[in-house]
Amino acid sequence: MNPLRVKGLCKSFGGLRVTRDVDLDVAAGERRLIIGPNGAGKTTLFNLIAGEIKPDAGEISLMGRDITRSPGRARAHMGLARTYQIITLFPQDTLIRNVSIALMGLMPLRWNPFANLSQCRDVSDAAHEALERVGLVHLADRKISETSYGECRRVEIAMALAQQPSVLLLDEPLAGLSVDERRGVQDLLLSIPRDVTTVMIEHDMDVALRFAERITLMHFGAVVLDGTRDEVVNAPQTREVYLAG
């Protein structure tokens, strides 16, 4: 059973068809890279998998279970987590509180408006552990607004990993980072354990290719090519797509 399968996925916005019969089959523990020029439909595909928008046609399966019509909040409970191309953190809250809020979304505690996160030992311990995994536990009490862009990227990854996902979607986690920051985040991504199946969108090919074992190339909302790293990198379709883009 592959943890993530997509079959015939289609989505249009008005007359614009942004996802065209997309098939995606990701094996357990795999590190999959999705590439393509701007407008290829990569982030739309993630939004469909995460349940943030509804497909017009097709099926999505997570851990062998059809989740096509399941709401996004339910998919998080089923083992799906993601990061975003644009950082979505609470700037006036601390790192530890941002991670704690992400954890609380999976707990009955979220229904308690009077809950004091700092006094919830299980949440606090899990949040500290997540920050330690990304090398930021020493900044736990610092506000996001006082944190560098690269560190914010690490916080987002910590928030996703804290949810102990079976499938992790990473939407351009290296975007906007300096060379040094990219190296650090790349090392962090490579340290993600193999019991987490990881699918990543990325434009920085030199960095991303070290991560990926299989690559899916998209263009105009469709899958143009799917294969091993060497097969896709050396394929004439890849050069044609990027030259055309």
Kindly state whether residues 148 and 199 are assigned to the same domain: no
* End-of-domain residue from the set 145, 164, 183: 164
Reduced to 3 states (helix: H, G, I; strand: E, B; else coil), residue 2 is coil
DSSP state of 1: -
Total domains in the chain come to 2
Domain boundary among 115, 132, 164: 164
d(CA 140, CA 97): 8
Per-residue pLDDT tens digits for 105-148: 666 555 454 455 555 778 888 899 999 999 999 999 999 999 99
Given 164, 197, 216, which residue is the final one in a domain?
A: 164
- pLDDT, residue 111, reads 41
Same domain, 169 and 156: no
Backbone angles phi, psi at 226, to 5 degrees: -145, 125
User: Is 187 part of a structural domain of the chain?
Assistant: yes
| Residue 226 and residue 214 in contact, taking contact as beta carbons nearer than 8 Å | yes
Residue 129, exposed/middle/buried by CB under 10 A (0-12, 13-18, 19+)?
A: middle
Q: Which domain holds residue 241?
A: 1-79+165-245
% of the chain with per-residue pLDDT over 70 = 91
